[in-house]
Amino acid sequence: MKKLLSLLGALTMIASTTATVIACGDTELKVNQAEMSGVLEEIGKAVYLNKTKGYNMDYVLQEYSFKNETIKTNYSKYFKDKLIGDSATLSGFANVVGKQPSDSDEITAILAITAKLLGLDASGDKKAQVTNAIKEALEMYNVNLQTGVTAEAKAEMQSVGAILKNVGTALETNSYIGKSYASAINEAMVKLVNEINKVAGVNTSFTATQFAQAMTSLTSTIKKLSTAGTGFDFAALFATAESSKAFIDVLKLTLLYINHIFTLDLSKDLENDDFIKAREAVIASTTFDLKGVVIKLNDALFGASQDSTGPVAIKNILKALFLNTRAGFYDGKYLNKSEDLFKNLENLNSYEYVNEDFGLGSFVAAIINGAVTIEADLGKFIPGAPSSGNLLENVGSISVNILGMITTGTPLLDSSTWTVLGGAIKGFTSLIPAISDKDVDELGSILTNADPIKELWSKNALGTFLRVFASLEGDFSLKGILTSPLNGLFGLNQAGGLDLIDLDTGADMSIKDILKLLVDSMGADDVKLNFDNLAAVFKNIGDIIVDLPTSVEGISAKLSDPALEALFKIIADAKGLKGIMEKIQAMGKNQKTKITKDIKTAYEAIKTSAIVAISDTEYKATINSRIQIAFEIEAVNKSFVISKIVYN
């Protein structure tokens, strides 16, 4: 984003005889009310468009307001540093960053480079083609290798290069041959917890047999970071070969397992033995078939028989990821006895692991437990409930246990339990007209059903409660979540600066639309990622960046033959990505054209605007005869800033 402080050409104006003198340190700033009024009137338009349309104020001012040279000159005269002060009071106006045509520039530029690489021909001169692609990329970003790399940037690049080398080494290393998948991923997750603790300054480490203790420690570390508000230094996690390997092993083992899950027939109710076979096939595999996963998922969720295959597919995925198959694991956790309801609910909190349990669900639970805490004294609201916040403290454990339980064919609640609980909910919701007894009964029909996922697929029982308690509108059945526009359900209208809008229809996109776009764009080409090939490329790129040559020819000379061969194998395996890149590029260009036109139309649609100077530091603008925007300004550091905006 072009910042207002980058505006050049500030001119010194001769103050009129009506100018007011305002002290600013040891300097006097002269304000001409007529000049300031003209500037603030245009700023009022930008504020109005930011508030009503979500457009970027910076862009509006630069592209439209400052076409008037007088306004541009006077703005530069009075607002030399920034427009809105750091401690400004804003009322009725939030000053969001806002949309502008350049939002999609970065992602489309990256995609253009990637599409160029994916278009390389393995039958031609490999090194010459890659050299030309590098040259085009450098020209696109206006990088001069001889003069454009500062000492500070070089140090940063050396750090990035070292990280890439570490990642490459981790990708090619497989120390889990001969182990079961469960023990392999559990060990990898314990090692990752140890590395996370190191980065977070927690001097605790665990062995592979201390899985339960490691997960508890992970929760504690995340809570510590959250409480301190310091965040987590992810770059530090790749600073050493050991820590890089810990992260990559967990990621690789998880992706390869997902890949093998999607080789199964997800439209049929699968047994645990099916997933065990899929897991054991992971250890010797090195390739993730993204296209295969996307097509299988799309067919299962949105095929001709989606209402029957969709719920089954979701159940199978949850079962593969979260079901604990140890005998008796869920005993005492079901909420199926009204007299033991809260005792059983408390049991959902518990960590109960043994070494050979498949621990991926436990890892997810530990992360959520650390990141999310809901404390509530339920005893104040529900008779018989514990008077403690600990009941809902471990949200991750409760969630993961429930996700595993609902795949087993046993209801979460029996009818007698629901009679008690449903009556209590109806007593509470009787005070809320928007929630009817019918809504509560529909929720009960889901919780007492042996297949709640099938019920949730088509029933919008959660929608009413989300509308009342979370201000979310729409169809929140599972089918509705997958097929309704994401903008309408969750207010999610962008990803990576790109509007989630269908290029052909102009409609907001849903998860179904996104999957269809991916499937259609890949066409007949594969999209596979071989980790051995990625390893060779990452290591060579890391070597180059650590000691970056000062010419494209120098970079070309450092491209190793094994890395070039690996790169062209990656390109051959991922040809389908080219179609996706080109489609997203087209979406970005369309978005840029559309938003440029929309902002121009909205600016020109402002029929009337006026401004009144109330005093030397107070002004009131009127937009379209009805919107009033009051401004107050103050002198700071030999310039002015807006210290208050009131939007009515």
- Asked whether residue 542 carries a pLDDT value surpassing 50, the answer given is yes
Residue 505's CB: how many other CB atoms inside 10 A? 9
> What pLDDT, on the 0 to 100 scale, is given for residue 25?
44
Provide the percentage of residues in the chain whose pLDDT is more than 90.
47
Between 306 and 11, whose confidence is greater?
306
> What pLDDT, on the 0 to 100 scale, is given for residue 149?
64
Using 50, 70 and 90 to split pLDDT, how confident is the model at 408? confident
Contact 145, 548 (CB under 8 A): yes
Phi, psi of 485 (to 5 degrees): -55, 135
Domain-located, residue 29: no
Angle (deg, nearest 10), helices 33-53 and 575-604: 130
Using 50, 70 and 90 to split pLDDT, how confident is the model at 334? low
Residue 190 CA: distances (Å) to CA of 79, 209, 287, 401: 55, 9, 24, 20
Mean pLDDT value across the chain: 85
> What pLDDT, on the 0 to 100 scale, is given for residue 396?
86
Dist CA 524 CA 274 (whole Å): 29
- Lowest-confidence range among 60-69, 173-182, 602-611? 173-182
- Asked whether residue 302 carries a pLDDT value surpassing 80, the answer given is yes
- Asked whether residue 11 carries a pLDDT value surpassing 50, the answer given is no
- Asked whether residue 376 carries a pLDDT value surpassing 50, the answer given is yes
- Lowest-confidence range among 181-195, 339-353, 597-611? 339-353
Query: What is the gyration radius of the CA atoms in the chain, in angstroms?
Result: 30
State mean pLDDT over 45-52: 95
Domain-located, residue 255: no
State mean pLDDT over 547-574: 92
State mean pLDDT over 47-60: 95
Dist CA 250 CA 511 (whole Å): 26
Dist CA 479 CA 455 (whole Å): 11
Contact 628, 141 (CB under 8 A): no
Between 218 and 638, whose confidence is greater?
218
Dist CA 232 CA 195 (whole Å): 12
Instruction: Please give the tally of structural domains in the chain.
Output: 1
- Asked whether residue 400 carries a pLDDT value surpassing 90, the answer given is no
State mean pLDDT over 389-413: 79
| Residue whose structure tokens are 């502008």 | 100
Between 227 and 84, whose confidence is greater?
84
State mean pLDDT over 531-538: 95
State mean pLDDT over 33-49: 95
Dist CA 256 CA 170 (whole Å): 15
Domain that holds residue 74: 36-84
By CB atoms closer than 10 A (0-12, 13-18, 19+), residue 247 is buried
State mean pLDDT over 69-75: 95
Structure tokens, 39 = 């500037």
Using 50, 70 and 90 to split pLDDT, how confident is the model at 348? low
Domain-located, residue 58: yes
Using 50, 70 and 90 to split pLDDT, how confident is the model at 299? very high
DSSP β-ladder status, 498-499 and 27-31 = unpaired
Q: How many residues does the chain have?
A: 648
State mean pLDDT over 619-647: 93
Between 353 and 636, whose confidence is greater?
636
Domain-located, residue 121: no
The one-character DSSP state at 330 is T
Between 146 and 336, whose confidence is greater?
146
State mean pLDDT over 115-130: 89
State mean pLDDT over 86-92: 92
Contact 194, 205 (CB under 8 A): yes
Contacts of 635 (CB under 8 A, 6+ apart): 22, 23, 24, 29
Dist CA 11 CA 117 (whole Å): 48
Domain-located, residue 55: yes
Dist CA 83 CA 58 (whole Å): 10
Phi, psi of 237 (to 5 degrees): -70, -15
Domain-located, residue 54: yes
Using 50, 70 and 90 to split pLDDT, how confident is the model at 45? very high
* 3-class secondary-structure state, position 353: coil
> What pLDDT, on the 0 to 100 scale, is given for residue 427?
84
Dist CA 134 CA 376 (whole Å): 57
* 3-class secondary-structure state, position 22: strand
What's the pLDDT tens digit per position in 230-272?
778 888 888 888 999 999 999 999 999 999 999 999 999 998 8
Dist CA 34 CA 38 (whole Å): 6
- Asked whether residue 405 carries a pLDDT value surpassing 60, the answer given is yes
Contact 476, 462 (CB under 8 A): yes
- Asked whether residue 421 carries a pLDDT value surpassing 60, the answer given is yes
> What pLDDT, on the 0 to 100 scale, is given for residue 228?
77
Domain-located, residue 77: yes
Domain-located, residue 541: no
- Asked whether residue 18 carries a pLDDT value surpassing 60, the answer given is no
